[in-house]
Amino acid sequence: MIWIILILILLAPAFVIGYILMATLLKWIPTNRKARPNAEGTTMWVISNGAHSDLIFPLKTPDIDWTEFIDLELFEHTNYQYISFGWGDKGFYLETPTWAELQPKVAFKALFYLGETAMQVVLYEEIPQNPKYKKAIKLNANQYNNIIQYVKRSFRYTPQKQLMPIEFAGLPAYEHLNYHFFEAMGRYHFFKTCNCWVNDALKLAEVRTATWAPFSKAIFHQLNKFIPEETDEQLALQPVSVLSRRQRILNRFRRL
């Protein structure tokens, strides 16, 4: 047994270095390389606090009324306009409201395929203004339907096809937030993180994103190439000479 422990200790640094190198390399290799942003369509958002990423949708559109999918009686009553979904490890969500409260056993179970997963659902009156990363994306009807079905498939259902809310209490960090949690499909581990879940959603929606994104920065690295920070409206306000040069630069990056 002691030899096994020693071998694991020796291999750990190599694994960490290899993991970071692979994540860095695949961040630079896009999927849906030839995808182009839509000028029109339904807007969704990808947001991140730097560690965890979520998908945000309008609560009601011609494509879907999320109030028919999620029981709003579980939430406080107010003027909701948007709904967000975030997939992740159940232990992290329910036992770790803040990083300071992370327990070693929770981290171990999450990283080594031993824990269950949960879907975090949050209702908003407006899009969060100050996440570390945020990107609005317009999707056509087919793209939007693909991502909707992906989100729905990520929930776990009863034999009667009902969602499975998770009862939770005693989490002060959640008291002022309109959060709720549901049982989810799949397992969280080193190679399938919350950010991978969001990244896979964007792949299905035919949006340019990273080949693999265990970290949120990889997602936004490619999204910023797909939809540059500087909008066409902002560019239009600049002198023609500047506009032409900068537009050529942006177009060159979009082709990469």
Q: What is the pLDDT of residues 194-211, one digit of tens each?
A: 999 999 999 999 999 999
- Distance separating alpha carbons of residues 24 and 18, to the nearest angstrom: 10
Split at pLDDT 50, 70, 90, the class of 15 is: low
Q: Span 84-92, mean pLDDT?
A: 88
pLDDT at 136: 95
Q: Which residue has the higher pLDDT, 104 or 122?
A: 122
Q: In the chain, what percentage of residues exceed pLDDT 90?
A: 49
- Distance separating alpha carbons of residues 52 and 61, to the nearest angstrom: 26
pLDDT at 22: 76
- Distance separating alpha carbons of residues 233 and 161, to the nearest angstrom: 45
Q: Is the pTM of the predicted complex or chain greater than 0.95?
A: no
Is the Cβ–Cβ distance between 50 and 133 less than 8 Å?
yes
**20 contacts: CB under 8 Å, gap ≥ 6:** none
Looking at the DSSP bridge assignments, the partners of residue 134 are 47
Question: What type of residue is 141?
Answer: A
CA–CA distance from 28 to each of 23, 41, 54, 91 (Å)? 9, 27, 21, 31
- For residue 157, the number of C-alpha atoms closer than 13 Å in the C-beta half-sphere is 10
Split at pLDDT 50, 70, 90, the class of 190 is: confident
Q: Please state which of the ranges 6-10, 53-57, 98-102, 166-170 shows the lowest mean pLDDT.
A: 98-102
Is the Cβ–Cβ distance between 92 and 110 less than 8 Å?
yes
pLDDT at 23: 73
Average pLDDT, the chain: 79
pLDDT at 233: 41
Question: Is the pLDDT confidence value at 245 over 50?
Answer: no
